Structure formats: C-alpha cells, structure tokens
Amino acid sequence: MHTYLSEGTEERQMSEYRKLKHLTNENLENAVIIDFEGLMDEDPSMAGVLCDGYFSQVCFNPKLEQAAIAKDLEFTSLHSYLDELLTECVEDNRLIIGYSRREYDVLCNVLPERVEEINAVYLNAIATKWFKSRHSLEMKALAKTKNKAKHYRDRSIGLKDILDFEFIAYEVSPWAKGVKPAKNIRRMINALEQTGDYDSVTRRTKSAWTMMLRYNKLDVEGLHYLLRWILDNQ
C-alpha cells in the first residue's frame, strides 16, 4: 500500500501540474478523465475512466475481484494499469484529468520514478475558484448551506454540488447525493470475506455496490460535462 502524500513533495508537485486555466477544447476532447474510489488512506479500489467518448471501469482491489467480474469490470493491478495509462497518454499527447489532488497523488505515489511525466500530462480540474470568481453569489449561498452539515466531510463543495446549480443544466439524480462510495466498498469487501462467494452476498449489498459504480460513472461523465460547460462560458 502506498502512502498519500509523501512529505516534502507537496509544494513541488502542486507547482508543476496543470490547472483549469490550461484547459482548451482540443486537449479536453483528447483527454482521459479519471476518478478513483476506495477506502480512506488506502490505494484506490477502482477507477472510472472516460476516453474518446467511451466510459469504462477497472477494479484493482483483490478483495473485490468477484464483485468486479460480476459487473464485467476489468480487473488488474493498480501499478500496471497506471503505468500503461501514463505511457499511452505521454505518447499520444493526452491529458489525464482528475477533479482533485487525489488522482495526482495516486499517480505520483504509484509511479514515483515518473513524476516528471505525470506533471507534463496531469490537469487538476477542480473548479471552485473559477465559480467563486464568476458566480460568487451562488457559491456563497452554497457554502452557507454546506456549512450546516453535521459532519465536516460534508461541508466542502464538491463536483456534484456545482453540477447541481440550475444554470449548469445538468441533472444530478437525488439518489447520488446519499451515496457513500467508501462505505459501499467496505460493505462489499466485508460481505465477500464473510461469504466467500459473490452469489451468496445479500441483494442489498449488491445493490450498494451497483450504486457506487453508478456514482463513479456520474462523477466522470459529470466532470466532462462541466468542463465543456466552462469552456463554452468563459
């Protein structure tokens, strides 16, 4: 398991990857958009990936192999998948876009010998500053609402919060707001450890796993939509 984030590398890394201001119509359409899901302080369990209009999901956690196969997900090692992905993006001059530092940190910690290449292709598309500068009233109202949340993790403004703005015109289904990916992943891991067989897992646990996968897809496709909207409304 890798440690996130290595002390002493944060300042250097933050100054070198690309940010939203570097996004263009050309590099967006050629980009790979990626979103990891997993447990706190552990390697990602899976990822959703959008490339050339095609969405796919891949699982890395051996404890979830049966659940991944049941949903026709690719199953492979995190290192081999990211190593191949990075190589292809460097060779094809594609960006790797994520909506946070999380995806970047994973890449750097899994492939520490390739940080310079990662810096050349990674774009952190977090858009809170962009919206604060252009839609300050809406962002202030959203922040006020979020600050009322009981748990501190629910107080930050995330991708779905921005997608849910009426002027964005993107439908965020109500069910998605209640999904906790890490909780659903842990639930499936525990169930498989107890039963030893995916077919013996309860229907509710299978449903939670499916909802997590749908949630991940919404994040990836929603990010592509939002970035297209930003480029069209600069």
Q: For position 27, which CATH number holds?
A: 3.30.420
For residue 144, being part of any structural domain is answered with: no
Full domain range(s) for residue 26: 10-126+158-232
Task: State yes or no: pLDDT of 214 exceeds 60.
Answer: yes
The answer to whether position 212 is within a domain reads yes
Q: Which of 109, 131, 121, 117 is nearest to 31 (CA)?
A: 121
- Is residue 26 included in any domain, yes or no? yes
Say if residue 15's pLDDT is above 80: no
For β-strands 44-51 and 122-124, DSSP reports them as unpaired
Q: Is residue 65, in this structure, part of any structural domain at all?
A: yes
Residue 148 in any domain: the answer is: no
Tell me the per-residue pLDDT of 104-152, one tens digit each, with 9 for 90 and over: 999 999 999 999 999 999 999 999 999 999 999 999 999 999 988 766 5
Strand, coil or helix: 37? strand
Residue 147 lies in a domain: no
E strands, the chain, in order: 18-19, 32-38, 44-51, 54-59, 74-75, 96-98, 122-124
Give the pLDDT confidence of 158-210 residue by residue, as tens digits.
999 999 999 999 999 899 988 999 999 999 999 999 999 999 999 999 999 99
pTM beyond 0.85: yes
Q: How many domains does the chain have?
A: 1
List the one residue out of 49, 51, 48, 47 whose CA is nearest residue 29.
51
Q: Is 151 contained in some domain?
A: no
pLDDT higher than 80, residue 11: no
Mean pLDDT confidence for 84-110: 97
Residue 121, in any domain of the structure: yes
Higher pLDDT, 4 or 27: 27
36 in Cβ contact with 47 (< 8 Å) = yes
pLDDT of residue 5: 47
